[in-house]
Amino acid sequence: MAVDFGANDGTTNGATPVEMVPAPGAGVKRVIKRLTIHNNDTVAADVMIQYKHATDARIVDRDTALAANASRQVRDFVLDDTDKSIEIVLGGAVTTNELDWTVYWADFS
């Protein structure tokens, strides 16, 4: 079994979903090891992590990211098909700053 590692980072886009973890290639199982969210805004933000399969998106984690550099970590997602991915979306517009995020994964083939 081969193992490869990957990472991604970015910022939210308000109520528009942003892909955090792309779908794995054929025959690959992608295990998300750590997903961290930082809120640099002056107010709390409603954050949703969505599991997307083809065109269907399901909220798998929802929480409030507190203001002023609060961070939270979500772990243990598995993507096992070429049309599955993980997205982040906010419950509404932010006051000043979008939220930053980083994600790390391992691919098994």
Give the tens place of pLDDT for each residue, 11-65. 999 999 999 999 999 999 999 999 999 998 888 999 999 999 999 999 999 999 9
Question: What are residue 59's phi and psi, to 5 degrees?
Answer: -75, 120
Instruction: State which residues form the domain around 82.
Output: 3-108
pLDDT of residue 75: 73
> How many domains would you assign to the chain?
1
8: CATH: 2.60.120.220
Mean pLDDT over 90-96 rounds to 86
For 100, which DSSP code? E
Kindly indicate the confidence band of residue 72, based on its pLDDT and cuts at 50, 70 and 90.
Answer: confident
pLDDT of residue 70: 72
pLDDT of residue 96: 85
pLDDT of residue 67: 87
Burial class (CB in 10 A: 0-12, 13-18, 19+), 90: buried
pTM for the whole structure: 0.89
pLDDT of residue 17: 96
Identify the residue with better confidence: 72 or 27: 27
Q: Residue 34 pairs with which residues in a beta bridge?
A: 104
